[in-house]
Chain A
């Protein structure tokens, strides 16, 4: 009787279908997220969030990130990253890096450009050529590749198009809709004078450019003047040698 029962169990076991579900996340090395660094990771879910102490980082689906140093340094390979709060956390791209104070900012990779959008942080972008760009609150700037003058291409600091930004922001927003709306309203109020601010920034840039052009002109004139006086001195010496001796 017992042997028949054993045979029954044995045959039943063959009828069972065992399926092992493959892991949803893609990472290199395999399953490294939260376990080891460096760890490259692709966001496969609708949104991804990282929190550790006072650090809060979110990324949209399809973004590729590399954690270089544990909760201290990240690299954005593709997609969009929302740094909600990450004091002293460094985020890099291929041609620039940023280290924001506490406050929010965004980093997005679009084609060959990285866009930095500052919401409420003190944001300084350091380019690969060691130049620095300060992005005021409510403004954004794009950074491209190294150009033929060994400088990193970048755009003007411009006000954020809030309407276009809201959709992306809402897709990652962890709270409820009324809370989101109130935050948007707060930002709108804070950014009311951005147009005047951008005018000031453009004015400064133009003034700096004009000053650079003036300086260049002045240097050329100085050089010409020196050349002319040198030419006159040589001529005078030549005259002395030939006619006075």
Chain B
């Protein structure tokens, strides 16, 4: 049986980034439908990522200026990363941010230009719970994406198939579904001429475009890029592929065929309305099944945001926060490749599981993280010695909200109450006697903090 606490927290962990015990307690008697309505309602108003101004401002940029922008990008990207994390942890528009985070992985992109990543991030946010078709059209004209997938080099005389291949393989149909190698070639022809100009804007270069007839997915016509995207949206497999991915991310990593088919129909028949799809998921009884609650391994970013929400985890220095992401295997704006983060069991190995479980100890006892990510490829060898003397990153936390929440509980009940609010997965393997053994009994406050810290270092805390 899934407890009401777990059920409500489940909704907020999947549709957002989780809520504090106090917020969960407050919502225990509210019907799920109403909470889901609220989630959509509170996502209407939102804040864009607004870290930087357009450095180009509609003027053509020189090569020297481009180089300058590239050199500044790592620091800008780091600041943007922190800003986005803070938006995710602090916003009321949690559903929109969670979906933006999902699409950030689905349309995985890297860029040498921080500005382009900010533009893309805001495009994804705009369409995050809107229409998938509109988002697909927008992302196909996204500057960072065009550059990342080499469509600048896709010209009539020398087609570059990268963009066409990934649009089908990763964004719409899924690898090997419906399309053939010939369809990739034909789509690539239709995408010719879509490029980014020296002002950093999307541009269509007519002379590079192949205006001849294409034979694509069994249809014939003088298709351009927009036509190809519309044909892809006509294919129900696109709805099925995206729905399957959403199911794996929001429900359970092993998709249930019947349910996915039902959801695919909802999504396709609604004309790719993301909100309709998500609402169906969040209001279905099976969403709250024991099998699904607490079944997912939290991604590093989800884990960090959970700590931010629960105990206000914060770092003195931005780099410490991005280093933690890096060592745990997920840095915002730096997906490993166009396929996105592998996720699931892939998040954990011996070292990342140990580090995840040691986070509370490092916060409470050590006051910092002495972690050393792998050097960047571009780092000069001198940086190696610099890394060696890197001091522990000073970390801040605020346990007062949690202590306040527990103020009326009996001391003997601390463990059971905190387990109820912090752990989503089955607790069969949790040894409460062992937890008691390591708890600091010196004061009620220390007892609450140490009990919570120990519970957060359980493997079960990694599951959301």
Q: Answer yes or no: do A and B interact.
A: no
Residues on B facing A (Cβ under 8 Å): none
Residues on A facing B (Cβ under 8 Å): none
